[in-house]
Amino acid sequence: MTRPEANGTAVFGDDGINLHQEARLNSPVVGQGYTGQRADLICVTDGDPVNGITTWYKLTDVDTGVTGFVAYGATAHTFRDVTWTNPTSC
C-alpha cells in the first residue's frame, strides 16, 4: 500500500496519542503515537472537539506506518516541531 503524500512533519510529544480511523472520538483507534515518534502530516480537518479544540490532523506515524486522525488538543503536548509545507484540508 502506498503511503499518502506528506504535506508536513511533526514529532509526537506525549505517549499513547490515539490515531483514529476518522476525526471522531468514537471512531475506531487504529494505532497510537509515542514521544519522539515522527509523523508525516497529510491534511487538517475539523472533527469532534477535544479540550475545546476541533482541529484534527490526518497523519502517518513514520515509525509504525499507521495512518489515522489525531486530535490536536488531545494533550497539552500532542505534537512538537510541527512544520507544514503545504497545509491542505482533508
Using the predicted structure, report yes or no on whether residue 12 has a pLDDT greater than 60. yes
**CA 47/CA 24 separation, integer angstroms:** 6
Mean pLDDT of all residues belonging to the chain: 90
d(CA 62, CA 21): 17
**Which CATH number is associated with domain 8-80?**
2.30.30.40
Q: What's the confidence (pLDDT) of residue 84?
A: 84
pLDDT tens profile 36-67 = 999 999 999 999 999 899 999 999 999 999 99
Confidence of residue 7 (pLDDT cuts 50, 70, 90): confident
Q: What is the pLDDT of residues 14-43, one digit of tens each?
A: 999 999 999 999 999 999 999 999 999 999
- Residues of the chain with pLDDT > 90, as a percent, come to 69
Distance separating alpha carbons of residues 81 and 67, to the nearest angstrom: 19
